[in-house]
Structure 1
């Protein structure tokens, strides 16, 4: 049976949003993340497909919907299939 949840820090590292897992843990524990609007202060919080992550990273606010849980830390093209960037989608809607 496939896993239905994954730790936040592991997800961030697997989908290449951060370079290291300890960096992902530090960001989560500093309270930089919200899952479905709820503030998160623990790296071990479980994320599932359908959750929306909101966080500030590298000077921009990111809003991602989790589409799938990755099985490994694979190439960037594989990692991008695991989430949908909602901030970019809303900007594209405004331009149309």
Structure 2
């Protein structure tokens, strides 16, 4: 893939597959979800090799170090050579643990939970979310 000396941040984030479209990347920059040294940046900001960006995408937060400039969107195997994910391990594990939360489901037609049922559900939720593993 050809490398370029100047590249916009919105185009870079799209090319390395952080955002699905360049418009989404530009909107994230405008909304303040892409930061350089804790400062919001515009979509037209020029990316330089070695810079570290904080990107928030929904509930996921990533810290990315630029190792190369990629002008066109490429496949996932090629893209990993152009950035380094230096997100702290604690932050990555916290994001992944959210998907392992218990799903509480009641049988259809059982009606509303009684006061006793509600207390048991609350205790179960509190026990699960208070654990620091």
Give the TM-score normalised by structure 2.
0.61
Say which one has the larger Rg. Answer: 2
Check conservation: 2:7, 2:71, Cα contact below 8 A. Answer: no
Aligned to 1:6, the other structure's residue is in SS state: coil
Structure 1 residue aligned with 2:121: none
| Structure with larger RCO (C-alpha < 8 A, sep 6+) | 1
Instruction: Pick closer, same or farther for the CA change 1:7–1:78 going to 2, 3 Å.
Output: same
Structure 2 residue aligned with 1:84: 84
Larger strand proportion, structure 1 or 2? 1
Check conservation: 2:6, 2:46, Cα contact below 8 A. Answer: yes
Gaps of 5+ in 1: none
Gaps of 5+ in 2: 91-133
Q: How does 1:29-48 map to 2 (within 5 A)?
A: 29-40=30-41, 42-48=42-48
Give the TM-score normalised by structure 1.
0.82
Runs of 4+ residues deviating >4 angstroms: none
Task: Give, in whole Å, the separation in 1 of the partners of 2:26 and 2:44.
Answer: 8
Aligned to 1:81, the other structure's residue is in SS state: coil
- CA RMSD between the two structures: 1.6
Task: Give, in whole Å, the separation in 2 of the partners of 1:18 and 1:71.
Answer: 14
Q: How many equivalent residue pairs? A: 88
Check conservation: 2:7, 2:69, Cα contact below 8 A. Answer: yes
Check conservation: 2:34, 2:54, Cα contact below 8 A. Answer: yes
